[in-house]
Copies of this chain bind each other. A is one copy, B any other.
Protein backbone atom coordinates (compact mmCIF):
# COMPACT_ATOMS: atom_id res chain seq x y z
CA UNK A 1 0.00 0.00 0.00
CA UNK A 2 1.57 3.20 -1.19
CA UNK A 3 0.15 6.59 -0.17
CA UNK A 4 0.47 9.21 -2.90
CA UNK A 5 -1.11 12.25 -1.27
CA UNK A 6 -2.56 13.43 2.01
CA UNK A 7 -4.77 16.47 2.46
CA UNK A 8 -7.16 17.62 5.14
CA UNK A 9 -10.18 19.92 5.32
CA UNK A 10 -12.93 20.57 7.85
CA UNK A 11 -11.54 17.91 10.17
CA UNK A 12 -11.50 15.17 7.51
CA UNK A 13 -8.18 13.70 6.35
CA UNK A 14 -8.07 12.31 2.81
CA UNK A 15 -5.31 9.93 1.69
CA UNK A 16 -4.97 8.70 -1.88
CA UNK A 17 -3.17 5.37 -2.28
CA UNK A 18 -2.32 2.57 -4.66
CA UNK A 19 -2.58 -1.04 -3.60
CA UNK A 20 -0.78 -2.91 -6.38
CA UNK A 21 -2.71 -1.64 -9.42
CA UNK A 22 -5.82 -0.53 -7.48
CA UNK A 23 -6.20 3.23 -6.87
CA UNK A 24 -8.04 4.02 -3.68
CA UNK A 25 -8.86 6.72 -1.17
CA UNK A 26 -9.18 6.61 2.60
CA UNK A 27 -10.98 9.24 4.64
CA UNK A 28 -10.58 9.42 8.43
CA UNK A 29 -11.11 12.01 11.15
CA UNK A 30 -8.09 14.34 11.18
CA UNK A 31 -5.61 13.19 13.81
CA UNK A 32 -7.47 9.91 14.34
CA UNK A 33 -5.86 7.32 16.60
CA UNK A 34 -7.11 3.85 17.43
CA UNK A 35 -9.69 1.45 16.05
CA UNK A 36 -12.95 2.62 14.50
CA UNK A 37 -15.77 1.32 12.26
CA UNK A 38 -14.88 1.29 8.57
CA UNK A 39 -17.34 1.80 5.71
CA UNK A 40 -16.48 0.74 2.17
CA UNK A 41 -18.37 2.74 -0.45
CA UNK A 42 -18.84 1.14 -3.88
CA UNK A 43 -19.28 3.83 -6.57
CA UNK A 44 -21.82 3.73 -9.42
CA UNK A 45 -21.24 2.81 -13.06
CA UNK A 46 -19.24 5.41 -14.99
CA UNK A 47 -18.34 7.09 -11.68
CA UNK A 48 -15.18 6.70 -9.57
CA UNK A 49 -13.78 6.68 -6.04
CA UNK A 50 -13.85 10.49 -5.74
CA UNK A 51 -17.21 11.05 -7.39
CA UNK A 52 -18.91 14.04 -5.68
CA UNK A 53 -21.71 11.82 -4.31
CA UNK A 54 -19.19 9.35 -2.86
CA UNK A 55 -17.12 12.19 -1.36
CA UNK A 56 -20.15 13.89 0.21
CA UNK A 57 -21.37 10.68 1.83
CA UNK A 58 -17.85 9.67 2.94
CA UNK A 59 -17.24 13.04 4.61
CA UNK A 60 -20.52 12.70 6.52
CA UNK A 61 -19.57 9.23 7.80
CA UNK A 62 -16.26 10.64 9.01
CA UNK A 63 -17.47 13.98 10.40
CA UNK A 64 -20.76 12.82 11.96
CA UNK A 65 -19.86 9.25 12.98
CA UNK A 66 -16.07 9.22 13.36
CA UNK A 67 -15.72 6.30 10.93
CA UNK A 68 -12.99 5.55 8.43
CA UNK A 69 -14.26 5.37 4.84
CA UNK A 70 -12.64 3.54 1.94
CA UNK A 71 -13.38 3.73 -1.78
CA UNK A 72 -11.48 2.19 -4.70
CA UNK A 73 -11.90 2.56 -8.44
CA UNK A 74 -13.73 -0.33 -10.09
CA UNK A 75 -11.95 -1.89 -13.09
CA UNK A 76 -12.10 0.44 -16.08
CA UNK A 77 -13.19 3.38 -13.89
CA UNK A 78 -11.49 6.48 -12.48
CA UNK A 79 -7.70 6.26 -12.53
CA UNK A 80 -7.65 2.69 -13.85
CA UNK A 81 -6.82 1.86 -17.47
CA UNK A 82 -9.54 0.97 -19.92
CA UNK A 83 -10.42 -2.72 -19.53
CA UNK A 84 -10.66 -4.07 -23.08
CA UNK A 85 -12.83 -7.12 -22.33
CA UNK A 86 -15.30 -5.28 -20.06
CA UNK A 87 -15.51 -2.50 -22.65
CA UNK A 88 -16.26 -5.00 -25.38
CA UNK A 89 -18.97 -6.66 -23.25
CA UNK A 90 -20.53 -3.32 -22.32
CA UNK A 91 -20.67 -2.31 -26.00
CA UNK A 92 -22.13 -5.69 -26.93
CA UNK A 93 -24.78 -5.41 -24.16
CA UNK A 94 -25.67 -1.92 -25.35
CA UNK A 95 -26.21 -3.28 -28.86
CA UNK A 96 -28.34 -6.15 -27.53
CA UNK A 97 -30.42 -3.72 -25.48
CA UNK A 98 -30.94 -1.57 -28.59
CA UNK A 99 -32.07 -4.74 -30.38
CA UNK A 100 -34.80 -4.90 -27.72
CA UNK A 101 -33.26 -7.48 -25.43
CA UNK A 102 -34.12 -6.82 -21.79
CA UNK A 103 -31.36 -4.67 -20.28
CA UNK A 104 -31.53 -5.72 -16.63
CA UNK A 105 -30.31 -9.34 -17.04
CA UNK A 106 -27.45 -8.13 -19.27
CA UNK A 107 -26.35 -5.62 -16.63
CA UNK A 108 -26.68 -8.19 -13.85
CA UNK A 109 -24.64 -10.76 -15.77
CA UNK A 110 -21.96 -8.16 -16.40
CA UNK A 111 -21.82 -7.19 -12.71
CA UNK A 112 -21.48 -10.86 -11.72
CA UNK A 113 -18.50 -11.19 -14.07
CA UNK A 114 -16.75 -8.05 -12.81
CA UNK A 115 -17.37 -9.14 -9.20
CA UNK A 116 -15.01 -12.09 -9.71
CA UNK A 117 -12.29 -9.45 -9.87
CA UNK A 118 -13.60 -6.86 -7.40
CA UNK A 119 -14.39 -9.18 -4.48
CA UNK A 120 -10.72 -10.15 -3.98
CA UNK A 121 -9.59 -6.57 -4.72
CA UNK A 122 -11.90 -5.11 -2.07
CA UNK A 123 -10.90 -7.77 0.46
CA UNK A 124 -7.25 -6.86 -0.13
CA UNK A 125 -8.09 -3.18 0.33
CA UNK A 126 -9.84 -3.95 3.63
CA UNK A 127 -6.80 -5.95 4.78
CA UNK A 128 -4.45 -3.07 3.97
CA UNK A 129 -6.56 -0.33 5.52
CA UNK A 130 -7.39 -2.28 8.68
CA UNK A 131 -3.67 -2.81 9.23
CA UNK A 132 -3.32 0.94 9.86
CA UNK A 133 -3.31 1.77 13.58
CA UNK A 134 -5.77 4.67 13.11
CA UNK A 135 -8.32 2.38 11.42
CA UNK A 136 -7.81 -1.04 13.00
CA UNK A 137 -10.00 -4.11 12.88
CA UNK A 138 -13.35 -2.61 13.90
CA UNK A 139 -16.76 -3.50 12.44
CA UNK A 140 -17.13 -2.98 8.69
CA UNK A 141 -20.10 -1.61 6.75
CA UNK A 142 -20.71 -1.56 3.01
CA UNK A 143 -22.65 1.16 1.14
CA UNK A 144 -23.27 0.77 -2.61
CA UNK A 145 -26.13 1.29 -5.07
CA UNK A 146 -26.47 0.60 -8.81
CA UNK A 147 -23.04 -0.78 -9.90
CA UNK A 148 -22.15 -0.56 -6.21
CA UNK A 149 -25.02 -2.97 -5.52
CA UNK A 150 -24.25 -5.31 -8.41
CA UNK A 151 -20.67 -5.63 -7.14
CA UNK A 152 -21.67 -5.23 -3.50
CA UNK A 153 -24.03 -8.20 -3.26
CA UNK A 154 -21.27 -10.76 -4.03
CA UNK A 155 -18.85 -8.84 -1.79
CA UNK A 156 -21.16 -8.68 1.23
CA UNK A 157 -22.06 -12.36 0.71
CA UNK A 158 -18.36 -13.34 0.66
CA UNK A 159 -16.82 -11.11 3.31
CA UNK A 160 -17.57 -11.95 6.95
CA UNK A 161 -16.07 -8.69 8.22
CA UNK A 162 -19.09 -6.82 6.78
CA UNK A 163 -21.66 -6.46 9.58
CA UNK A 164 -24.27 -4.34 7.80
CA UNK A 165 -24.89 -3.07 4.28
CA UNK A 166 -26.85 -0.43 2.40
CA UNK A 167 -27.61 -1.74 -1.10
CA UNK A 168 -30.10 -0.83 -3.82
CA UNK A 169 -30.93 0.38 -7.31
CA UNK A 170 -30.19 -3.15 -8.45
CA UNK A 171 -32.21 -6.15 -9.53
CA UNK A 172 -32.27 -9.86 -8.90
CA UNK A 173 -31.66 -11.11 -12.45
CA UNK A 174 -28.29 -12.71 -11.81
CA UNK A 175 -27.71 -12.20 -8.11
CA UNK A 176 -30.67 -13.78 -6.28
CA UNK A 177 -28.68 -16.90 -5.41
CA UNK A 178 -25.78 -14.83 -4.13
CA UNK A 179 -28.14 -12.53 -2.22
CA UNK A 180 -29.55 -15.58 -0.46
CA UNK A 181 -26.12 -15.97 1.22
CA UNK A 182 -26.34 -12.51 2.81
CA UNK A 183 -27.46 -12.68 6.45
CA UNK A 184 -26.31 -9.33 7.89
CA UNK A 185 -28.76 -6.41 8.33
CA UNK A 186 -29.44 -4.66 5.03
CA UNK A 187 -31.14 -1.39 4.14
CA UNK A 188 -32.23 -1.71 0.52
CA UNK A 189 -32.97 1.42 -1.54
CA UNK A 190 -35.39 1.15 -4.45
CA UNK A 191 -36.56 3.89 -6.80
CA UNK A 192 -40.22 3.25 -7.60
CA UNK A 193 -39.96 4.60 -11.17
CA UNK A 194 -36.44 3.30 -11.92
CA UNK A 195 -36.00 3.35 -15.70
CA UNK A 196 -33.02 0.97 -15.55
CA UNK A 197 -34.06 -1.62 -12.97
CA UNK A 198 -37.59 -3.04 -13.32
CA UNK A 199 -39.54 -2.63 -10.07
CA UNK A 200 -40.19 -6.36 -9.86
CA UNK A 201 -36.46 -7.12 -10.19
CA UNK A 202 -35.61 -4.75 -7.33
CA UNK A 203 -38.34 -6.21 -5.12
CA UNK A 204 -37.10 -9.72 -5.99
CA UNK A 205 -33.54 -8.86 -4.94
CA UNK A 206 -34.79 -7.50 -1.62
CA UNK A 207 -36.89 -10.64 -1.24
CA UNK A 208 -33.90 -12.88 -1.93
CA UNK A 209 -31.75 -11.49 0.91
CA UNK A 210 -31.57 -14.03 3.75
CA UNK A 211 -31.06 -11.31 6.40
CA UNK A 212 -33.37 -11.54 9.42
CA UNK A 213 -33.21 -7.73 9.59
CA UNK A 214 -33.67 -6.08 6.22
CA UNK A 215 -35.65 -2.96 5.35
CA UNK A 216 -36.78 -1.88 1.92
CA UNK A 217 -36.95 1.89 1.44
CA UNK A 218 -38.80 2.73 -1.78
CA UNK A 219 -39.27 6.29 -3.02
CA UNK A 220 -40.84 7.76 -6.15
CA UNK A 221 -38.49 8.84 -8.90
CA UNK A 222 -36.01 7.55 -11.42
CA UNK A 223 -32.69 5.72 -10.99
CA UNK A 224 -30.77 8.90 -10.18
CA UNK A 225 -33.38 10.56 -7.95
CA UNK A 226 -32.51 9.04 -4.56
CA UNK A 227 -33.85 11.53 -1.96
CA UNK A 228 -31.31 13.23 0.29
CA UNK A 229 -33.10 12.07 3.45
CA UNK A 230 -32.16 8.47 2.59
CA UNK A 231 -28.51 9.37 3.17
CA UNK A 232 -29.42 10.67 6.64
CA UNK A 233 -30.99 7.29 7.16
CA UNK A 234 -27.88 5.44 5.99
CA UNK A 235 -25.95 7.18 8.77
CA UNK A 236 -28.52 6.10 11.35
CA UNK A 237 -28.57 2.56 9.97
CA UNK A 238 -24.80 2.18 10.36
CA UNK A 239 -24.89 3.89 13.76
CA UNK A 240 -27.34 1.17 14.84
CA UNK A 241 -25.16 -1.68 13.58
CA UNK A 242 -21.53 -0.56 13.69
CA UNK A 243 -21.29 1.61 16.82
Enumerate chain A interface residues (CB-CB to B < 8 A): 190, 192, 203, 206-207, 211-220, 227, 229, 233, 240
Contacts and interface: CB of A to CB of B under 8 A. Distances in A.
A218 B190 CA distance: 11
Contacts of A192: 207, 216
Contact of A220 (B203, B214, B233): B214
Contacts of A233: 233
Given A212-B220, A216-B217, 18 more contacts: A190-B216, A203-B203, A211-B220, A213-B219, A213-B220, A213-B227, A214-B220, A215-B217, A215-B218, A215-B219, A215-B227, A216-B216, A216-B218, A216-B219, A217-B217, A218-B218, A229-B240, A233-B233
Nearest to A230: B215
A219 B214 contact: yes
14 contacts: A192-B207, A192-B216, A206-B218, A212-B220, A213-B220, A213-B227, A214-B219, A214-B220, A215-B217, A215-B219, A215-B227, A216-B216, A217-B217, A229-B240
Nearest to A214: B220
